[in-house]
Amino acid sequence: MLSKEELEKLYKAGEIVHKTLEKALDIVRPGARVLDICTELENYIISQGARPAFPVNIGINHVAAHYTARIEDDLVIPEKSVVKVDVGAHIDGYIVDAAITLCFNPVYEPLVQAALEALKVVKEILKAGLSLGRIGSYIEKAIRGRGFKPIENLTGHLIKRYELHAGKSIPNVDNGDERKVLEGEIYAIEPFATDGKGSVIDTPQVTIYRLIATPKKALKKHRELILKIQEVSQGLPFSPRWLANKVNLSKDELVKVLDELARENVLYAYPVLVEEGKGMVSQFEDTFIVKNDGCEELAHTLDLFRR
């Protein structure tokens, strides 16, 4: 069970994520620079006394996940786009992960609503004892019932201290997984809806990494860099942006070294994920504490969309 101190850290992280998403609703609009958005939201998290649990993800249109601004990035939010903003913050390793979709094209409003409604359903039904597959079936039904497809190879996830994906996954479809969610567990649950194929594929592009090992050889060769990575990320996903002014490498050199470390399995490289059928993608996410008689939301994502 979670102690009072642990709960306080989670509640505080949740409040900060909520306020960060509220800020995103203000600043994310066509013409805005993605680099400015990521920087402003991450700095806001820090200003509130937390740390980003991963780089702010901005997923435009068919980009589903794992895109954050690069060190120099001219990308701007396009007109008539559908934009996912996925934010994580932690206090002392206690992580809250949540996401919203902003819709700048009325044509896609039903697609956005489908993922939102699925998250509402999750909030209503989630409680200890439910199987992972059963939760997925509720998400799947909510999305298919609105004429769209859930993305079957993106999932919610059990969260532990300093561990974003701690084993069990909550599918967006009924995958038959009979393992149960247990009282006191913390899950990020993130329905994704699409008008495409219903799955994502890797692209060659990488904008996010995570430190997974410190082999001696790599440690010797890139000791200063790896220690910096540990300092800025604490084992959680990070952006090269967070290192740019902290290491004695040019931007190009830094990205080259990070890719080299990924090939040596010192770093994990997250490929940018796109919808396989080039479909439009919507996503809503919150982090929940599972209880015997229900659940408790931490970021209160849905409260941002009460109309």
Active site residues: 86, 97, 157, 165, 190, 285
Of 285 and 297, which CB lies nearer to Mn ion in the complex structure? 285
Torsion of CA 61, 238, 168, 296, to 10 degrees: -80
Closer to Mn ion by Cβ: residue 235 or 247: 235
Task: Give the other-Cβ count within 10 Å of 223's Cβ.
Answer: 12
The residue among 138 and 288 lying less far from Mn ion, judged by its C-beta, is: 288
CB 260 → Mn ion: shortest distance, Å?
28
Residue 274 CB, nearest distance to Mn ion (Å)? 17
Nearer to Mn ion, 99 or 255 (CB): 99
Q: Which residues contribute to the site for Mn ion (CB under 5 A)?
A: 86, 97, 99, 188, 285
- Our CB check for Mn ion shows the closer of 152 and 285 to be 285
Q: Which two tokens stand for residue 50?
A: 């937390």
Q: How far is the CB of 36 from Mn ion (least distance, A)?
A: 20
Q: Give the count of beta carbons closer than 10 Å to the beta carbon of residue 294.
A: 14
